[in-house]
Each structure stands twice: as structure tokens, then as C-alpha cells.
Structure 1
Amino acid sequence: MQIDQQSPEWYRARYNQLRDQALETENSVRAPAAPVEMKEEDVLHRETIPGGWYWSTFLPRGQALRLLNTSGNNGVSVALWNADDLSERYNAGDTIKLQWTTCLTTGRVLFSDMGRVLASVIADTCGFSDTLAGGSTPQSNMRNFGSSSLRNTRNNFRLTAGKYGMSQHDVTSCITFFSHISTQADGSFKWVEGDVNPGDYVDLRAEMNLLVAVSNCPHPFAPDADFTPGPVEAVRWQAPKPAADDLCRNFCEEARRGFDNTDILFA
């Protein structure tokens, strides 16, 4: 039976079956996973990113990047590219639909537009991120703060792209951590307050050689009255080799297939 020659009813039933399986997996009780600890001797580099500014780094496969939200900022945005082929980059749509969730926290992975795993979320003390609304823009800054000349994530990522020989067309979707966005019944977005605390952090483990850009600007739906983001800290460190029961590699069937597609590049 050819999967590309079925009726609309067949595809609908197949979709519903996969959705129900994913929801069952999502809601199932999991054995607690051992935390992946960052030891001081594993730290390779530390960088402070001032409020409104950006930073980029090459992150080889197996290393991790900790984003430490020292100021309790409402949003730190991240863009990812395959450092060996910059035409491959983070894809928000695939990341959501392949894992059947917008809750991209510990255990989840970030997919590229080639169906491979760019990075794994091995720790997330905040537990909330957004990859639907996108980063801040001059227009969102005008709406929120009354000025389009303030620094913003879209332009920060365009500046990053230019430094590495890319153009603005190479800047696509991003994920903004420390951002609790709720989708309303009419499809609009609403910020849920009270979930971001100073000292929260996210650890991203590189599953291929990455170019990572970080923009320290508020999420466009954040309730900030003024544009006053404080500094955040970026820490590049050597993560331990994933064990056989690694949470991210075994979280769901879709993730396992993504790792199969990725690992073959480094076999």
C-alpha cells in the first residue's frame, strides 16, 4: 500500500491516530531522569550579554550552552544553524509538529528544516518558552515602548547573519526562552505573568556542530513597561556523553528518528 496514494479519510484517520499516540506519551508518567550537571571544570567560556545586545558562538557537537537569566528578563531568543552547512537551520514548525507540542522544555529537541536534531534541551528551570510569535522587531518595540529605534531581536539576528556571510533571508524562526505564552481560543497570544525568576537557566546540548546566536531582548508580548532588560550570562561547557537512557534521545519516537538522521552524519 502506497502511503502517498490514500484517500483524505485515510490521512485524517492516520493523523488522529498519531496525535492520540503522542498525547498518550505526553501525559504518561515517566521515570525521573538524572539531571545533567554542569561542573565548574567543564566550563569552557563565559560571556555576559548586555540588555538589548546579542552574541554568537560556534558550539561543537557534544558541548552545551547554558543561558543564565541572571536578571529575570522576559525573554532571551536563540537562533541555530548547522555550522557545517549554514543553509540548514532551526525550524519552528517541524519542531512543534514532530513532537506534537509547543511545550519545548527539558527532554525536548530542536529540529532543523532537514529533519535532524540541532540541539537538545537537557535542563530548563523556568519551563516556559515560545517559538510561535517570533522575536522582537522595530514594530513590536514601537507598540510596546513607543520607539522603533530600540534594539530588537530581528535586527540582532540579521547582524549575526551578516557577520557569517549570510543575508537577512537566512534569518528565519527562533525560540525565545523564559517566555510564558498562552494561546487563546481565538488564536491570539497572551503573556502569563509570574513564571520567570532571576537565576533561571536553560541548557542546550549541541547534537551537531552549531552556530548559535543569542539576542537579549524582551519577548514582543512581555508585559515590560520600559525597555530595561538586564544582562544575561552565556556559558559554553562540555556536556557528558549521552547515556543509553538519555531523556532527550528517548523522549518520543519522533525524537529517536531525528537522532538517527543526525547521527549518521557523524558515523
Structure 2
Amino acid sequence: MHVRRSAEEIAANRQRYEEHQKKGLEFTPKALPTPSPLPAPAIEPTAIIHRETIPGGWYWSTRLNRGEALRIEQQDGASTVALIAWNANDTSERLNLVDTVKVQWTTALGKGRVIFSDMGRVMFSMIEDSCGAHDCLMGGSTAASNAAKYRGAKTRNTRDNFILAAGKIGLDRRDIPGVLNLFAPVRIDDDGGFHWQGKMSNSGDYAEMRAEMDMLICLSTCPHPLDPNPVYAPAPVSVTRFRAAVPAADDLARTATAEAVRGFENNAIMQA
């Protein structure tokens, strides 16, 4: 249904847009740090809520509350981990990688970056990351892509894993958002093609993501569509859910860009 807006409302919206634009142009983004050190430091035992190993090719889902974090760690060889998420209190709000890339002006996600929802709010802050090799463009594997790549082999794929995981929390395939592939060293070369840069991700790499709202999340450990290994042999992955430290006022993820600042302002409105 078309809604006619008054001249006053249009003018107010225009003024608000121009104010945001001005703030963005005046804001000097903070430089991001070097990758987190290896090996991954131990998590304080009293902070750990749950720890689990996800078998290669399988899936896992959990609720992650605001202020908690998830460490995802490669322990038995390089393995891509696909991630999707929804607002636990309103699953119509979900992970949005298009906005994540667009408002931060980069496809390179790493420590100090944030992951946005489709409502302009911050879902995750990346508080640790040892590799910076994450793919937010390609999506996950499907039955068709696996059949073409692993001819004659019996395999699992990311799309079907997420359909199963979504069904167990009352959602269906229409609710599945775009997929964030962690530990997937995909880069766009000068020819405009997607290429796998395997040396960017190694066994032992880890990422820690702090929840900035209550969420339902799903992970899948199937190989990335561009993974050059001709054999279907995904490695298990360790996940640890823990209580994160309370972020300081100058927390990098919250202050690195004008867009992140605005995203957290939107979070504050939601949580008020």
C-alpha cells in the first residue's frame, strides 16, 4: 500500500539524512589492529557457558544472549564455518551482509568490525580474529554445487544444513539470510573473479564474536564452494560460548566508524 508523506515529514527525513551524511564525512575511521595472536589464549573457566565440537559437514544452533560471545576455532585443520543469525525476539530481523559491507565500505571483516542486521542494528562485534580471511559474498554450498564438485560422493551441504537447523527453531527456508563464511580466504582479483587464497587461513585460526542483541544463530561446517580440495573432508570445529568482558567506552568495534556508532545508537533505541 502506498503511503503519502507530508512535505514536513519529507523535509524532516531529508534533514536527518543530511545530518548523518555530514557526521560520516567528518568522522575519521580508526585503524584496525593486526590479527589476534596465535595460539588462542585460554578463556577464563568461570566465563565459559558451553563448549562443543561440531563434526565436519554438520550443523549446530544455539541462543546467544547480548553480552555473551562465541569463539569459533579451527583445531584439526582448516575448515570453513558458515554462520547465519536472527534476532531472538523478532526473527523477521536477521543477518544482513549487504548492509554490513555497504555501510562499512569494505568486504574485509576482522577484529574491530561489526555485523549488521537488516534493520540497521549491530548483531555482532568481532572482538578477536587471527586471520581476517572471511567471505561475505559467495554464500554456502548447495546439493547442486557439491554434486558437481564431488562427483559420486555422499556429502552434506550448507544450504540443506541451514534448512534443517532453521526448522528445529520454528523457521523455514524463506527465513534463511545470506551466509557469512568464516575462515574462507576468498578475494576478488583484478579480473573481477572470486579466487581462493589458501595461505590466508591456517589450522588454529579463531574468531570471537560478541553478541550485541539476543540472537538465535546457526553454524555449518561444510566446505566452501571455492575450497580447492577435490576430496570432501571437512574438519571438526570447536565452539565456545562464554560471557564476554563488558566493553569499554572506547571499545574499537563501537567507535571505529561513524556507521558503527549509528548502528549502536539504533541498538540502544531497541533496548530502551
Residue matched to 2:78: 73
- Relative distance call for 1:142 and 1:19 in structure 2 (3 A) is farther
> What is the aligned partner in structure 2 of residue 46 from structure 1?
51
Matched, 1:189 2:191: no
Is 1:94 the counterpart of 2:72? The answer is no
Alignment deviations for residues 130-187 of structure 1 (CA, whole Å, 9 cap, x no partner):
0100011112212221258510111111111111111100012010011111113343
Q: Percent identity?
A: 44
Does the 8 A contact of 1:72 with 1:200 survive in 2? no
Partner of 1:159: 164
Structure 2 alignment gaps of length 5 or more: 1-9
Query: Is the alpha carbon distance of 1:70 and 1:266 closer, same or farther for their aligned partners in structure 2, counting shifts above 3 Å?
Result: same
What value does the CA root-mean-square deviation take over the aligned residues?
2.8
- Is residue 78–residue 201 contact of structure 2 (8 Å, CA) maintained in 1? yes
> How far 1:32 sits from its partner (Å)?
8.2
Structure 1 residue corresponding to 2:250, chosen from 231, 239, 245 = 245
Do the aligned partners of 2:81 and 2:222 also contact (CA within 8 Å) in 1?
Answer: yes
Distance 2:36 2:200 in 1: 24
| Aligned equivalent of 2:3 | none
Amino acid at match of 2:94: R
Following TM superposition, by how much is the alpha carbon of 1:4 offset from its aligned partner in structure 2, in angstroms?
8.2
Is the aligned partner of 1:117 residue 2:122? yes
**Helix, strand or coil at the partner of 1:194:** helix
**Deviation for aligned residue 1:199:** 1.3
Give the 5 Å matches for 1:171-190: 171-190=176-195
Partner of 2:228: 223
Distance (Å, rounded) in 1 between the aligned partners of 2:145 and 2:223: 10
CA distance in 2, matches of 1:34, 1:178: 14
| Farther off after superposition, 128-137 or 179-188 | 179-188
Supply the distance in 1 between the matched residues of 2:167 and 2:234 (Cα, whole angstroms).
24
Number of residue pairs aligned between Structure 1 and Structure 2: 256
Matched, 1:62 2:74: no
Output the CA distance in 2 between the equivalents of 1:217 and 1:192: 18
CA contact (8 A) 1:106 1:124 kept: yes
CA distance in 2, matches of 1:142, 1:34: 36
SS of 2:72's equivalent in the other structure is strand
Contact 1:102 1:131 (8 Å CA) reproduced: yes
C-alpha contact (below 8 Å) 1:69/1:201 kept by paired residues: yes
| Aligned equivalents of 1:19, 1:211: Cα separation in 2 | 31
Counterpart for residue 82 of structure 1: 87
Structure 1 unaligned runs (5+)? 6-10
- TM-score, structure 1 normalization: 0.87
Shift of 1:89: 0.4
Q: Structure 1 pair 146/30, CA: closer, same or farther in 2 (3 Å)? A: closer
- Residues 56/43 of structure 1: CA separation in 2 closer, same or farther (3 Å cut): same
